[in-house]
């Protein structure tokens, strides 16, 4: 029965809107790059107070992870664990076009995440106290990594 | 050409809206807590019939997983597998501030998920017949775990 | 101050809308089925130019992964790695109702993803050049797998 409603009805609650962008980051070879601040700044600039932010990394040999941002040993230990779990140059692998770290990077990506969504509350990412958002570069060489962002909210 | 459209055009299809909340759960130490019902109740109370629910756990030593809710041996086997894959007290780890289960909890979190989104259909979570949503506590001690929810739909 | 705004204000920016469906796929037993084209076709048919697509697989013994779609050895190597990491018939497992590949399928699902969201840009999935979306069947037998889709955008 939309016709029966007054015209301003559509504004009686905040109208949802969306924003998108792609942020690019230079990695330093295997390891973690924290992107929490860059992503949070973009959310703030959008003016959205409540909503949902989605990050999607457009690569198959790097991941997005949410991990502890307090003790740097956590990221170091994650790297050491994955290096042991998925060893470079494993003779099991046939896909070696780009070297001994090529296929292990794909396996690490499959074991972690290509995408993460974080609620936005009060204009800020609703991360826990110790949570940061990271790009985890799995290749030994430096790469430019594109992260597509989508924000819906009001 | 928005001006040419009649004012009620904005209601000719259901207006999307969103809801957010944070649910807190007490875990019993390492293992699984099913939260399907609590989350489904909140979705039902929102009145949203079709949409997307996102759950985000605000911690780095517990996960969100969607797993079989029929045979409890599945969760037991998952726990046994991960305990063998990521052993407590592994000398590889340097981050041990909170004990031998501290860093393994972070690794388990990286290997599983911090976030999951589930479509809502007919006012209910569109889970498969055997799917339940769980918090997987990775620490041996009990913890209070906060799960941020975001729902968009109509 | 909604009453002060002109009635057409609600159309001064595109109104967000949503679409949902469920796509079903027949797998051929353990391995990968690429679904990028089927999903992209559905997004195109919706007319949404910018937004967010979410895929959710309604099963606990198959996964959704985004992986390289160029060299088929990548999927082969992923399968070989996971077969070694989570061996069929492992005596650790108690849940064996449906055979030696039953519990390993659940573990593989926990190690990968039940859901993935991909931004939509210019009417197309914002995947990287080498990214494809796959169902990863973890059971040795063929199965029909349902993937629930949710699209929000304009």
Radius of gyration of chain A (CA): 19
pTM, whole model, 2 decimals? Answer: 0.93
- For residue C5, pLDDT over 60 is answered with no
pLDDT tens sequence across C40-99: 999 999 999 999 999 999 999 999 999 999 999 999 999 999 999 999 999 999 999 899
**B9, closest residue in chain A (CA to CA):** A2
d(CA C1, CA C5): 7
Burial class (CB in 10 A: 0-12, 13-18, 19+), A90: middle
- For residue B6, pLDDT over 60 is answered with no
Partners of C66 in beta bridges: C133
Tell how far CA B130 is from the center of its chain: 16
- Per DSSP, the three-state class of A28 is coil
Among B40, B60, B54, which residue's Cα sits nearest to residue B112? Answer: B60
Among B134, B74, B137, B73, which residue's Cα sits nearest to residue B104? Answer: B137
Judged by a CB distance cut-off of 8 A, whether residue B131 touches chain C is yes
**Contact across the interface for B73 and C94, Cβ inside 8 Å:** yes
**Contact across the interface for C9 and A11, Cβ inside 8 Å:** yes
pLDDT tens sequence across C102-119: 999 999 999 999 999 999
* Backbone torsions φ then ψ of B116, nearest 5 degrees: -145, 140
ipTM value, please give it: 0.92
Buried b (16+ CB within 10 A) or exposed e, A104-127: bbbbbbbbbbbbbbbbbbeeebbb
**Contact across the interface for C8 and B3, Cβ inside 8 Å:** yes
Measured between beta carbons, which residues in chain B are less than 8 angstroms from residue A9? 11
Measured between beta carbons, which residues in chain B are less than 8 angstroms from residue A78? 106-107, 110
Of C65, C77, C116, Cβ closest to residue A95: C77
Q: State the nearest Cα–Cα gap between A151 and chain B, in angstroms.
A: 12
Radius of gyration of chain C (CA): 19
B64: left (phi over 0), alpha (psi -120 to 50) or beta: beta
Q: Which of residues 80-119 of C touch A (CB under 8 A)?
A: 80-81, 84-85, 111-113, 116-119
% of chain A beyond a pLDDT of 90? 90
Q: Compute how many other C-beta atoms are within 10 angstroms of the C-beta atom of residue A64.
A: 22
**Contact across the interface for C9 and A12, Cβ inside 8 Å:** no
pLDDT tens sequence across B31-81: 999 999 999 999 999 999 999 999 999 999 999 999 999 999 999 999 999
d(CA B101, CA B88): 5
Among C20, C26, C36, which residue's Cα sits nearest to residue C149? Answer: C20
DSSP A129: T
C-alpha separations of C82 from A64, C65, C97 in Å: 21, 13, 21
Of B5, B9, B152, Cβ closest to residue C152: B152
- For residue A12, pLDDT over 70 is answered with no
Judged by a CB distance cut-off of 8 A, whether residue B73 touches chain C is yes
């Amino acid at each position: 029965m939309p016709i029966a409603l007054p015209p301003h009805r559509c504004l009686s609650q905040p109208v949802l809107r969306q924003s998108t962008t792609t942020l690019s980051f230079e990695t330093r070879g295997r390891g973690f790059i924290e992107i929490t601040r860059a992503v949070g700044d973009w959310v703030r600039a959008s003016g959205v107070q409540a909503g949902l932010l989605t990050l999607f990394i457009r690569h198959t040999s790097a991941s997005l992870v949410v991990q502890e941002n307090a003790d740097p040993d956590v990221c170091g230990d994650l790297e050491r664990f994955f290096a042991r779990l998925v060893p470079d140059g494993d003779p099991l692998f046939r896909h070696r076009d780009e070297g001994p770290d090529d296929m292990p990077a794909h396996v690490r990506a499959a074991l972690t995440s290509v995408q993460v969504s974080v609620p936005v509350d009060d204009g800020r990412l609703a991360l826990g106290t110790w949570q940061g958002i990271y790009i985890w570069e799995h290749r030994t060489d430096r790469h430019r990594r594109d992260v597509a962002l989508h924000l819906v909210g009001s």
